[in-house]
Structure formats: C-alpha cells, structure tokens
Amino acid sequence: MPTVIAVDAMGSDKAPKPEIEGAILAAKQYHVHVLLVGREEQLRAEMAHHPSAQHLPIEIVNATEVIGMDEKVAQAVRSKRDSSMRVGLRLVREGKAAGFITAGNTGAAMATAKMVLGALPGVDRPALAAVFPSSKASATILVDVGANVDCKPHNLEQFAIMGDMYARSIFGISRPRVGLLSVGEEESKGNELTKEAYPRLKALPLNFVGNVEGRDLYNGNADVIVCDGFIGNVALKVSEGLVEAMRFLLKESLKSTISSQVGALLSKKAFSDFKKRLDYSEYGGAPLLGLKGVCIVGHGSSNANAIKNAIRVAAQFADTKINAKIEQELTHTQGVGVS
Amino acid sequence: MPTVIAVDAMGSDKAPKPEIEGAILAAKQYHVHVLLVGREEQLRAEMAHHPSAQHLPIEIVNATEVIGMDEKVAQAVRSKRDSSMRVGLRLVREGKAAGFITAGNTGAAMATAKMVLGALPGVDRPALAAVFPSSKASATILVDVGANVDCKPHNLEQFAIMGDMYARSIFGISRPRVGLLSVGEEESKGNELTKEAYPRLKALPLNFVGNVEGRDLYNGNADVIVCDGFIGNVALKVSEGLVEAMRFLLKESLKSTISSQVGALLSKKAFSDFKKRLDYSEYGGAPLLGLKGVCIVGHGSSNANAIKNAIRVAAQFADTKINAKIEQELTHTQGVGVS
C-alpha cells in the first residue's frame, strides 16, 4: 500500500502549478498516493495540461476556500471552515491521509494543525523545526522557529526530544549532538530560561553538548539546536535578510571586479547554489513536531521540486512512525520524573 | 585643545601593533591626543619602530596587567586591578581622558566600564550598540548586542533613547526611525517583553516605526532597532556564522563555475568587500551607551584602521557631548511620567 499524502494545492505563491507538478514528480518517484486539496474545478483544469499524469495515483479533493499569505491568522483559521488547509488536515485526522504538506501561510498552518490534529500526549507546545546549511557537509536543525514565544524550560526539553527524533529518523544521524542556544558556552552563560533549561537537558538521555552560540547554526558544531521560538524566528529572518543583502553587495562587487555581465552571471550562479542550501524547502520543508499527525510547512516560494521533497519527507515521517516514537520518548522521560 | 583619548594598547588579538599604528594614524589625521595604556616597556620598544611618531601627541601610560580574550570575566575584572582596561577607564573617570577604546575582551570591557565609570543617572543598564550594514546606503544600529539578558520594558525604552541619540550624533540622521525587534509587524505580535515595551516606545518623543523583524537588520527599514541583549547577541553571532559559511560555499561555487584560481581570487575580493561592511570595527567599534564616560569596544581582529576609526568615534562621542544629551533626554522622559 502506498503512503497517502494530502497536499494543499492552493498554498504556494504560484499555486496550484508547483503543487500539481510536485505531486506528479512525487507520484512517479516515490511509493506515494497524493490527494490534491483545493478548488476542484481549477485543479481539474490544471491537471488537464498533464495528460501523462492520468494514470498516476493522484486524486483531487475539493476545498472551496483558500487562506491567503497576508491574511490575519486568527480570523482566517476561525472563519474559513472549508479552506484547503483545514480540509487537508482533516483528511489526516480521519486517517484518510498519513500526512499533510502546505506551502501556504505558516502561521495559519500551525494554528490549523494544532486545532485539527491536536498535540501528542506529553507535548505542551508543538514546534516548527527548520534546517540550516553549514559549511561542513552536515546541516543543523533549529527548534523552534515558529514563534512559540515565552517558552518555559520544559518546552525546550520537549523541543530537544522532538528534534533528536527528527534528526535520527529523517537525517539518519545515530546520536545527534543537541545544543542549547545561548550567549556563551559556559553553563553559567545565558538568560533565566536557558539557565533553568540547561540541567534539565543535561539529564535527558540525549547527546547534549551544552550551550552553543548563534554562529553554531552554520558551522556544523551541533545537529540539533533548541531555543525559544522568538529567538528562532529572529535567527531565521536575520539569516534571510543577510543573504538578500549579500546577494546585492556581492553582485556589486563582482560587477566592479570583472566585466559587469560576467560578474552578474557568476554572482547569480553562486547565489542560486547557496540559496538552494539555505532554503529549507530544499530539505523538504519544515516539519511541525509534536502533533497527532504529520504536517510539513514549505516556503511560499516553493517550486515543484520543493513540493516533491516535502511529500517525500511527509511520507518518511509517516513511515518511520516518528510521532509514535516522540510520544514514547516523552512518556518515558516524564515517567522517570525529569519533566 | 585636542580631545584626549585613552587606548587599551593590549586589547586586540595582535596587540600592541594595531593599537600603536592606529594611534599614529589618528594623531596625524584628527585633532586628538592619544594615551596608549599598557606595559610601558613593551610599548616603548614598539614605538621605537616609528621614529616619525616622535613628535605626535601620543603618550604612554603604564599598566602592568592584561585581561586575555578567553579569561573568565568576573574573576579577571575583580583580580586584575592594574589591567590596561581598568587603568584606561580610570583615566576617563578622573577627567584625564575624554574617552576610552579597547579591542579586547568585550565582556570584561563592559564589566570594567560599568564598575569604573558607572551608569548615567536614569540608566538602569548600559547597552552595547552594533552597526549592521544594509543593501541600501545606510546602516542599522542594533541595541543591545551586549547580552544584557532578561531585559524589562523600561530597559528597551532606555535603549531606544540612547540609540536615537547615537544615530543623531554620530551618523548625522536627523530623525532616526526606531524599531522594536519582534516576530511580526503588527502591534499584537511578539513576546511578553515586546508587547509591554511597544506602547512605551510609542509614547516616547521618537520616530518610532513599530515592530520590525529579523530581516530588517539588513534592509535599511530602520535606523535603530532595540531588543533584549540575548536576542541581539544571537542576531550578531548568527550573522557572523552565516558570513563564514557563505564565504566557504561561495568559494566552492565560484571555483566550480570558472577556473579554480580565478574563482578563488574573485570570491576573496567579494568577501573582503563585504566583511568590511559587516565588521563593526569599520564603523569605529561598538559604543557602550549609557555610561558616565565614553567607552568604545572594537573587534579583537581590529587592524590599525579599525583602531583609528574607534579613536575618531570616541572623540566624536566626547565632542558632541552625547552622554549629557542622553542624560537630559532620560530625565525629561522620566519627568513626564513615561518611565
């Protein structure tokens, strides 16, 4: 039996094109069955451009509403009861799909997923994990980047357990190095939250490497880094802003160094290589960890390849039963009295 | 009368060479008198290599101890009573110098400055300000990056007033746009701290532009951004780490695109251009705002030019009487009952 994955066909900036093409790629390459969720008529019309996809395991599920990128989250989630996100996540809750992916409004995806799927037993706050490239071959997972603000020490503890499981199940790292994001390496460095979280993380049955600093997001010194979602969100957006600024400055520099056309071309190539590594959609999107069900959030700018990768990762999440493992780990940890 | 600036001659990674050369450049170019503070014998020997500097307004002040880059701050500050930092800052307190600069251990500089100079009336926590380059012509000042962790709303209020004065006095911006670092632009977005700080910042007689996000550090959307020092420290170090990672990845990419030697050369040029813009020492170091006296902290990797710039900025701080203005502004603000 192929793994059934529901795809928000209306999510990305250029929806539904990347979603449909990504679904076709995934259905060809992986053992998956895709449910494309969105405005049925529009999706049928778009699918008609891909006659070769006729025999692929792709179905359309109708959802009449769409949550826009700039909509106010609380209101949109409450009022749009037939949104593609809500319908797609309902398919997961009802067992009709093993996972859901969306490249739509991240805030709306988090809120809808929490509402429709709910959190795993033992999880107080589901968290969004993002992958940062490093100069080494590896990558670093940061949990939480989803603006779970004003976290308590036990939230960071749960983020660590969930991030560890993610690194093991999806990245195949056998004993992930887990770090706590702080402002200095010594145990005594940090704020109230990190100082309280430190001994709790140390007591977990994980490969805890202690405090790490901002620069460790990019140097491969840790596989998983946990932090309050406010900090994680700032770290992610500072990175995006810096890449944009560098793209601009580098182009200027290369243009002034050599012929302007060659310089522009070179910088374009160099940057697309780098962005490819930085953009988490290339890693298959950012998973929401700690939910009763699988939900992967991609970037709004996702192309067909990014959607395909997100579908692959959603299927991996489902197939490796990562949620059951997280639940077990949390129950065990809380059972031994750490939390 | 030239402005007298005390320079920690033992601070930088390659001390005292960059400090001495920077002092010579500054004494030639600006209307300053430099007091080089450090091990007298070593400094005399080094100065002997610069016979042309004999008639410049540079004096040596002996200090027998040095605080190392990796020393534990609390202990070093307490025990080394004759450190170049302590002696240099004492010269400021005693009115023998109008300002002090160091490229040494940032934590030790902050702690020593607070101890020796003390905070201005109305300032609860002095703050370290760093300058971030942007893709536009302008730059953005972030306060605090000095790990003043667990800040309260009134701390951010003071950071805003001090940052505004810094932007006006040193960067010549007549009405700096002041933003509050958060995770979304709407007033309702943020954590407990930013939500409480927002209305207080709005009530200040500043050009408050509301919440800004991580990416706004690099796009010129604000002249001054305030945040808790934990966040500011992470933002600064994430940026440093990302620049390092990009340097590596860009080199690989350029090498694979064109001949490897040309690629390596190009990426080196492009990066040194960019680093020059990113490195805050190029802007004359990071000032500690809110002290009874002027103290500028440079990067450990400062070269002679960076030291020269820091001396210039210290003199500007002294000459524009920025501290008196901050004190006045704070007294005024507190007088009208905002704080």
- What digits encode the pLDDT tens for the residues B129-154? 998 877 666 789 999 998 799 999 99
Q: Which is more confident, B263 or B121?
A: B121
How many helices and strands (H and E) does chain A possess?
11, 11
Q: What is the mean pLDDT of residues A289-316?
A: 93
pLDDT given at position A250: 73
Q: What is the predicted pLDDT for the residue at B273?
A: 66
B230/A231 touch (CB, cutoff 8 Å), yes or no: yes
pLDDT on residue B23: 98
Q: Which member of B147, B219, B253 has the closest CB to residue A273? A: B253
Q: Position of tokens 């009487």?
A: B321
* A231-240, A250-259, B58-67 — most confident range: B58-67
**Binning pLDDT at 50, 70 and 90, where does residue A133 land?**
confident
At B88, which amino acid appears? G
Q: Which helix (H) or strand (E) holds A157?
A: helix A153-171
Partner-chain residue, chosen from B135, B242, B270, that has the shortest CB–CB distance to A239? B242
Q: B301 falls in which pLDDT band (50, 70, 90)? A: confident
Contact (CB, 8 A) for A254 and A267: yes
Which one of A149, A258, A266 has the shortest CB-CB distance to B183? A149
B211-231 average pLDDT score? 95
SS3 breakdown of chain B: % helix, strand, coil, rounded to 5?
50, 15, 30
Which of these ranges, A9-13, A70-74, B85-89, B203-207, has the smallest mean pLDDT?
A: A70-74
Q: Of the ranges A56-70, A260-274, B18-32, B240-254, which one carries the lowest mean pLDDT score?
A: A260-274
Distance from CA of A204 to the nearest CA of B (A): 25
Average pLDDT of span B209-233: 95
CA dist., res. B99 & res. B88, Å (int): 9
For A250, which residue in chain B has the nearest alpha carbon?
Answer: B270
- Tell me the average pLDDT of chain B: 90
d(CA B312, CA A209): 42
Report the pLDDT averaged over residues B9-30: 96
Both ends of chain A: CA-CA distance in Å?
39
pLDDT at residue B337 is higher than 50 = no
Q: Quick one: average pLDDT of A42-49?
A: 96
Reported pTM: 0.90
Residues on chain B touching A191 (C-beta within 8 angstroms): 149-150, 228, 230
**Per-residue pLDDT tens digits for A185-229:** 888 889 999 999 999 999 999 999 999 999 999 999 999 999 999
Instruction: Calculate mean pLDDT across residues B264-277.
Output: 67
Q: Which residue of B has its CA nearest to A270?
A: B253
Q: Is residue A72 predicted with pLDDT exceeding 90?
A: no
Using one digit for the tens of pLDDT, what is the confidence trace for A139-181? 899 999 987 999 999 999 999 999 999 999 988 999 999 999 9
The dihedrals phi and psi of B245, each to the nearest 5 degrees, come to: -65, -40
Cβ contact (<8 Å) for B184 and A234?
A: no
In tens, the pLDDT along A237-295 reads: 999 888 888 877 777 766 666 655 666 666 676 667 666 666 655 667 899 999 999 99
Q: Please report residues of A whose CB lies closer than 8 A to that of B258.
A: 266
Structural tokens at position B21 = 């050369």
Of B133, B234, B254, the CB nearest to A235: B234
Q: State the pLDDT at residue A299.
A: 85
On the question of pLDDT at A335 being above 60, the answer is no
More confident residue, B277 or A287: A287
List, in order, residues 6 or more apart from A5 with CB less than 8 Å away: A26, A32, A33, A34, A35, A97, A98, A99, A100, A101, A311, A314, A315, A318
pLDDT of residue A252: 73
Contact A22, A305 (CB under 8 A): yes
Q: Which of B300, B275, B273, B272 is nearest to B286 (CA)?
A: B300
Does the pLDDT value for residue B258 go beyond 70?
no
Taking contacts as CB-CB distances below 8 angstroms, the residues of chain B near A218 are: 238, 241-242, 244-245
Per-residue pLDDT, averaged over B193-200, amounts to: 97
Q: What is the pLDDT averaged over residues B160-177?
A: 94
- Nearest CA-CA distance, residue B183 and chain A, Å: 6
- Specify the pLDDT at position B263: 63
Nearest in space to A227 (alpha carbons), one of A191, A202, A262: A191
For the CA atoms of chain A, what is the radius of gyration? 20
Burial of A65 (C-beta count, 10 Å sphere; 0-12/13-18/19+): middle
3-state SS class at B234: helix
pLDDT at A278: 63
Contact between B149 and A184 using a beta-carbon 8 Å cutoff: no
Q: Give the lowest-confidence range in A16-25, B277-286, B326-335.
A: B277-286
Q: Quick check: A337 pLDDT over 80?
A: no
Residues B57 and B51: their CA atoms lie apart, in Å, by 13
User: Shortest CB distance from B266 goes to which of A150, A182, A254?
Assistant: A254
For position A69, what pLDDT does the model report? 85
Average pLDDT over residues B192-198: 97
Which pLDDT belongs to residue A95?
97
| Residue closest to A66 by CA, chosen among A93, A85, A46 | A85
Give chain A's domains with CATH numbers: 3-123+290-322 (3.40.718.10), 129-279 (3.40.718.10)
The pLDDT of residue A11 is above 70: yes
pLDDT, averaged across chain A? 90
Question: Quick one: pLDDT at residue A315?
Answer: 96
Which chain B residue shows the shortest CA-CA distance from A266?
B254
Q: Is the pLDDT assigned to residue B339 strictly greater than 70?
A: no
Amino acid B336: pLDDT: 46
Mutate to test the interface with B, among A145, A180, A215 (most CBs of B within 10 A): A215
Average pLDDT for residues A323-336, to the nearest whole number?
81
The H-assigned helical ranges of chain B are 17-29, 40-47, 73-79, 84-93, 106-116, 153-171, 192-203, 229-257, 260-278, 304-319, 322-335
Higher pLDDT, B289 or A256: B289
On the question of pLDDT at A339 being above 50, the answer is: no
Chain B nearest-CA distance from A12, in A, is 20
Say if residue B276's pLDDT is above 50: yes
Distance CA A33, CA B195 (A): 45
Residue A62, burial from CB neighbour count under 10 angstroms (0-12, 13-18, 19+) = middle
Q: What does the pLDDT read at residue B147? A: 76
Angle at A180 between CA A175 and CA A182, to 5 degrees: 150
Question: Pick the residue with more confidence: B257 or A290?
Answer: A290
